Amino acid sequence: MDERMIRRLIETAAAQRKYSYAPYSGYRVGAALLARNGTVFTGCNIENAAYGPSMCAERTAIFKAVSEGVHEFEAICVVGGLEESPSGYSVPCGVCRQVMTEFCEPAFPIIVAKDADHYELYTLQDLLPKSFGPDNLRRNTEE
């Protein structure tokens, strides 16, 4: 992935933070998901007073894409932090990593960024080794 696309995804994810609904934690997260067809799907975190029904930015973006029939992705970028300023690197939580495993290959790039000049690049395999995914549920047809 070229540097220009990485910067575009970081800027898009950072801009999505303004839509975050985070009245409890104050931790605002934005995500930008690049589909194989070139479309960028966005997401933000949405909290709930009961916590369990809360939704992460990454899953929001993935579910938006899947709900529109898109299942193939090239990369995702996540930018997060307390209130208005990104603080540190917001690495996807375990649930988001598991959802990514459903749709993405182990080499799927995950960009976590503070801003366009400060980011780290991981693969899904880096963040979720030995994952349980669709291949685990396929029946062996070779007998």
As annotated, the active-site residues are 58
Q: Concatenated DSSP letters for 34-77?
A: EETTS-EEEEE-B--TTSTT-B-HHHHHHHHHHHTT---EEEEE
Cα separation, 112 vs 72, whole angstroms: 20
Q: Which two tokens stand for residue 74?
A: 């090239």
